[in-house]
Amino acid sequence: MQFFHAQPLFSEMNVKHESMTHNAPTHALDRLREFKLAIDLYSPTLEETHDVWSTLKAVPVPSALYKLRLLTVATDAPDTKVLPMLERRLPTPNRDKN
């Protein structure tokens, strides 16, 4: 817990480069160049805590929950052209016909 309190934000600036390249994916879209990952301690309500332990069918023990948020991502892939979304309307039956 002390580790995440001392360093709640991870990015390419404070993570060892070897940990990002060792066994890295071969596809450019899967290789991260930039990222920001925020880690926050989450304090669930008593009801939420009960629900978690009931779902796990386990005896409650001291625990901590963290909320992870991915803030920024950039990959090694070249920018690709985004095609505009096309709209297609389905024909509707004409209800005014007699």
CB 77 within 8 A of CB 26: no
- Cβ within 8 Å of residue 52, ≥6 positions away: 44, 65
CB 52 within 8 A of CB 60: no
Q: Measured between alpha carbons, how far is 27 from 33 in angstroms, rounded to an integer?
A: 13
Q: Kindly compute the dihedral angle of the four CA atoms of residues 10, 16, 22, 23, in this order, to the nearest 10 degrees.
A: 0
- pLDDT tens sequence across 25-74: 777 666 777 788 899 999 999 999 999 999 999 998 998 889 998 887 77
Q: Which helix (H) or strand (E) holds 38?
A: strand 32-42
- Cβ within 8 Å of residue 4, ≥6 positions away: 39, 41, 66
Residue ranges covered by each domain of the chain: 2-75
Residue 9: the pLDDT is: 87
Report the pLDDT averaged over residues 90-97: 60
Radius of gyration of the chain (CA): 23
Question: Which pTM value belongs to this model?
Answer: 0.55
